[in-house]
Copies of this chain bind each other. A is one copy, B any other.
Amino acid sequence: MDAEIIAVGSELLTPDHQDTNSLYLTGKLNEVGIEVRFKTIVGDDRERLATVLRSALGRSPLIILTGGLGPTEDDLNRAVVAEVLGRPLVEVPEILERIRARFALLGRPMSENNARQALIPQGAAWLENQNGTAPGIWLEHNHATLILLPGPPHEMAPIFDSQCLPRLERLSAGERIQTRVIKVAGLPESEVDRRLAPIYQRYQNPTTTILATPGGIEVHFRARAATAQQAEALAGLLADQAEAELGEHVFSSRGESLEEVVGMYLVMKQKTLATAESCTGGLLSERLTRVPGSSNFYLGGAVCYSNELKTSLAGVSPAILEAHGAVSKPVAQALAEGIRRRASASIGLGITGIAGPGGGTNEKPVGLTFIALADERGTEIREFRFPGDRQRVRWLASQFALEMLRRRARGRSKL
């Protein structure tokens, strides 16, 4: 079964907004063997939306619309779908009740406008939304299935996963698609391609895509087969060969993030971590604590933007700051060792650098960053010169700090 996704919203036709829902949906649809053949983005405009919907009905057995279910006047999806299909909108008392209850729970009066969200085209089923007022809508019309989902991703995704995907899996007759993702650190994209091409070129299925992302080079192996297990085995066959070729540069074999991998190693080795960050301003600790259960390996740390806090929170001596400046090897070392001691952690990690845009000099330009890792065997300090703007320098600093942690934590020798 082929699918078509229509993302509705005038903001998605401006230079500042991207339709990201369709990426999520595509991934989930692929899992149950459904390919996306068209994606269309159209504004909050009755006539244009109707045009797009008619085209879709003429060519796609499964049509998913996102957005346009809000309470405001320019949220038109319910009305346009009803009009194009020639079905009246009917009010569902149970939805209205739920919307009222939701507002009551939040202690706010329900706006008149929200009553619109209780309307669905005749003959449709509604899909409960636990994270917002707009329910989703499921509709069969002639030989097509239409699904309407709210635009906010945290509302769209749970509705789709729990109430659409199982039904679609039953509807989709045939093949299954599985993708294995491996992630690579420390090699450029072209080098990854050069080394993997002789392997992946031998296969039409799986297809291989190499992708540069902020979190590292990703290699996607996408396989089709009669069952999910077979597709997975096929993708795995190629992924294993690729891993063997790239060796320790592969940090993730199953799509895990770098921070998840670091956490896994630390828990496995029963080690704890504390951090002292300057230029990354908490980004490293934020990334570490994205991982559920991070309290099992991460104790916490200091964000010491000012020199005073480098001293009072991480125990960096004012003499070192005075002698070498805040962005220096000795300060990185003192941060790592200081926070390790202060937190009684197995590992201390310190970062200091110049993220920009201001603060750079000829001698210490924007991008200059020192990262130190201290454990009971001693302290490793590395110097980096990261390219790019403030956010990119900060991201790269956190990325290389995690990579230093990974390499130290995976080593067979004791930490």
Contact = CB atoms under 8 A, between A and B. Distances in A.
A53 B26 CA distance: 23
A174 interface: no
Interface string A230-252: 00000000000000000000000
Contacts of A108: 188, 191
Interface stretch (A162-170, A306-314, A370-378): A306-314
Contacts of A309: 274, 299-301, 343
Nearest to A13: B36
B285 A114 contact: no
Nearest to A357: B292
B282 A211 contact: no
A383 interface: no
B282 A289 contact: yes
Given A42-B38, A282-B286, A300 B295 contact: no
Interface string A343-355: 1100000000000
Interface string A33-61: 00111111111110010011001000100
A209 B313 contact: no
Interface in A368-399: 387-392, 394
A14 B52 CA distance: 21
A212 B154 contact: no
A344 to B, nearest CB: 7
A411 interface: no
A86 interface: no
B42 A13 contact: no
A179 interface: yes
Interface string A288-300: 1110111100111
State the oligomeric state as a number of copies.
2
A45 B84 CA distance: 28
Interface stretch (A69-77, A139-147, A261-269, A316-324): A69-77
A182 to B, nearest CB: 13
B282 A222 contact: no
A274 B209 CA distance: 45
Contact of A190 (B9, B113, B201): B113
A302 B294 contact: no
Contacts of A13: 26, 35-39
Interface in A1-40: 9-18, 20, 23-24, 26-27, 30, 35-40
Interface residues of A, number: 106
A185 to B, nearest CB: 15
A10 B388 contact: no
A303 B302 contact: yes
Given A111-B190, A274-B309, 7 more contacts: A10-B209, A15-B179, A16-B218, A17-B209, A38-B48, A290-B390, A313-B342
Interface of A: 9-18, 20, 23-24, 26-27, 30, 35-45, 48, 51-52, 55, 59, 70-74, 108, 111-114, 131, 133, 152, 154, 179, 188-191, 193-194, 197, 201, 207, 209-212, 218, 220, 222, 274-275, 277, 280-286, 288-290, 292-295, 298-306, 308-309, 312-313, 342-344, 356-358, 387-392, 394
30 contacts: A9-B211, A10-B207, A13-B35, A13-B36, A13-B37, A14-B222, A15-B24, A15-B27, A15-B30, A15-B179, A17-B209, A37-B42, A37-B43, A37-B45, A37-B48, A38-B52, A40-B41, A55-B55, A71-B189, A108-B188, A108-B191, A112-B194, A277-B282, A281-B288, A282-B283, A282-B285, A289-B394, A293-B358, A301-B302, A301-B303
6 nearest A-B pairs in the assembled complex, by CB-CB distance: A281-B289, A282-B282, A282-B285, A15-B27, A300-B305, A282-B286
